[in-house]
Chain A
Amino acid sequence: MTDLTDLGIADIRNGVRAGTFSAREVATAFNANVAAAKALNAFLIDTPEHALAAADAIDAKRAAGEDLPIMAGVPIGMKDLFCTVGVEARSASKILNGFKPTYESTVSQKLWDAGAGMLGKLNMDQFAMGSSNETSAFGNVISPWRRNDGGNAALAPGGSSGGSAAAVSARLCPGATGTDTGGSIRQPAAFTGISGIKPTYGRCSRWGVIAFASSLDQAGPMARDVRDCAIMLEAMSGFDPKDSTSLDLPVPHWEAGLSSNLTGKRVGIPKEYRLDGMDAEVAAVWDKGIEWLRDAGAEIVDVSLPHTRHALPAYYIIAPAEASSNLARYDGVRYGQRNLPDGAGLQDMYAATRAAGFGHEVKRRIMIGTYVLSAGFYDAYYTQAQKVRTLIARDFERVWDSCDLLLAPTAPSAAFALGQESDDPIAMYLNDVFAVPASLAGLPAMSVPGGLDSQGLPLGLQIIGKPLDEQGVLNAGLAIEERAGFTARPAQWW
């Protein structure tokens, strides 16, 4: 019998539906992989019983002859910023120590309704702030990938959904939830040779998802291939009256709509993404991606998104500003950690709790956000950034006159060593230079593996689509996937 943990979402579901194997067998196999992979530090909390209970429910349904839902028998990993009933949710921060939600996030509930179960809570950058998973209060996630040059420096899995990326690529789960505020699904997917899609802003409910930057946060799936992403996105999406920014639209059947024939599609290549001094291997994969899409029938056009270079600085005003306010609720009063020095008053307790509870990067962003919103600076920073954001969105709107999709690299480099960029915040922020524009414009965007670099590390290709055109994005991803023939996986060393 094949190793069940080599199977992806579609194969597991189909096998469970066909009775080739039971959901319990699948859950058991993945639980074992999770338990054996502590060296990766991908999971913060294991919930094997949750996965088994969901599996047993599916097996019982099948025995009763019922129709099985779209993720029947698929155990998944849950990023730690999704609230699930009774399981500690900390957003990888000490400040939420001990917090056990009494409620279930809309996205996780939809996944359970679709037949999935939970293997555990995944490590991440603290409050999703980071691009290397080095800001977690519970230790770095170690990428399962290693360079082929004999060096064994531990590599970053990317971030903030680094635990999700590592877990999927190391076969600890066939799929995992991620969230993407400024590249947090796409960049780690690229670093670990898996696929991940951030849908249009408003497709996935934010209710029950611990907020980082409300106008940017979007949940999405991370999985081993495009079909699996389509299935899981379908399960996660849908209108939620509890989220005022949720889109009241039906969820398309993305899996059924998959087609790698891109005849009639025009794919734009944004010239501003070709940075001076661009990594040659990244550029080469991009060129290959262009050829693959042409081969799939697409017409390739050169396009311009003139405000691209302003996206990252705008993001680093808007996201910290929103975060500074969203994270004000962590004050040690209603949940989480409380630090109460002797004789401390209320405000001292706040300051002590937040000093001890937040990590350095979180504090830095809260303070930048506080500064840019403060009296006298608000217009110069925040309003200006939101105007620039309008211009960036307008760039995309204009470009849709000449193309249907955009193709670009996901990240400017392959995975780097842990510790390599953690001293220089701006160098770290530059990881998301290609990912952030689509986030600012709320557009669907996906990363799929494009190949390996000379060191044997994965490089990702990013497809950006029009609002609500997840199908177009997935289809272009599929066209690349079929042609890239990416089968590399990290050798198991853990």
Chain B
Amino acid sequence: MLADQAMSVDSKTVKKIASLARIAMSDDEIEAMVPEFNGILGWVEQLGEVDVTGVEPMTAVIPNVLRLRDDVVTDGDIRDKVLANAPAAEHGFFGVPKVIE
């Protein structure tokens, strides 16, 4: 339950989250984010009080069924469109900084 685990987030956690989210942040930015983070988390933690026994999490907001597509090729063969906006594209590929695996 949220209420029980109400805890504050420290700069190390914020840093980890920034890294998970792939957002470069300076130490100052991290420090500045800590109270904002705690403010928002502290506020949403009131949800922990709500009794949700036997309640299913919402899946479809309006009753609707998932339609399935026919197995037909209707798309692709549009390489120019796919690459049109790429910051780096060569020989039909997207280019990224070299990855060492």
Q: Write the residues of chain A forming the contact surface with B, with a CB cutoff of 8 angstroms.
A: 98-100, 102-103, 200-202, 215-216, 241, 244-245, 247-248, 307, 310, 313-314, 316-317, 324, 328, 331-338, 340, 344-352, 354-355, 358, 363-364, 366-368, 370-372, 374, 380-381, 383-391, 393, 425-426, 440-442, 467
Contact partner, B94, options A334, A384, A385, A389, Cβ 8 Å:
A334
| CB within 8 Å for A388 and B20 given contacts A364-B33, A368-B37 | no
Closest chain B residue to A364 by CB distance? Answer: B36
Are A384 and B25 interface neighbours, CB within 8 A? no
- Is the CB–CB distance between B86 and A333 below 8 Å? yes
B73 at the binding interface (Cβ < 8 Å)? no
Against A, the Cβ 8 Å flags (1 = close, 0 = not) of B44-85 are 111110101001111011101011010000000010011011
Distance, CA A426 to CA B36, complexed state (A): 9
A381 CA / B81 CA spacing, docked (Å) = 40
Write out the residue numbers on chain A whose beta carbons fall within 8 Å of the beta carbon of B50: 307, 310, 384, 387-388, 391
Contacts of B82 in A (CB 8 A): 334
- Give 25 A-B contacts (CB < 8 Å), ordered by A residue: A100-B85, A102-B78, A200-B62, A201-B62, A216-B61, A313-B47, A331-B22, A334-B86, A338-B87, A344-B97, A346-B99, A347-B22, A349-B96, A354-B21, A354-B24, A367-B18, A367-B33, A370-B21, A371-B9, A381-B2, A386-B58, A387-B56, A390-B56, A390-B57, A426-B40
Q: Total interface residues on B, using CB and 8 Å?
A: 54
Which B-chain residue is minimally distant from A426 (CB atoms)? B43
Q: A314-B47, A334-B86, A340-B97 in contact; A355/B23 too (CB < 8 A)?
A: yes
Interchain CB contact under 8 A, B61 and A244: no
Contact of B21 among A333, A366, A385, A467 (CB under 8 A): A366
- B61–A393 touching, CB < 8 Å: yes
Find the B residue at minimum CB distance from A243: B67
Beta-carbon contact of A388 and B18 below 8 Å: no
Contacts of A200 in B (CB 8 A): 62
Instruction: Tell me the bound Cα distance from A393 to B63 in angstroms.
Output: 12
In-complex Cβ contact of A202 among B39, B57, B64, B69 (8 A) = B64
Of all chain A residues, which has the CB nearest B44?
A313
Chain B proximity of A327: nearest CB distance (Å) = 9
The smallest C-beta distance from B24 to any residue of chain A, in angstroms, reads: 4
Nearest CB on B from A166, distance (A): 28
- The distance from the CB of B28 to the nearest CB of chain A, in whole angstroms, is 13
CA distance A123 to B72 in the complex (A): 39
* Cα separation A441 to B62 with both chains bound (whole Å): 8
- B62: which of A349, A384, A467 is its contact (CB, 8 Å)? A467
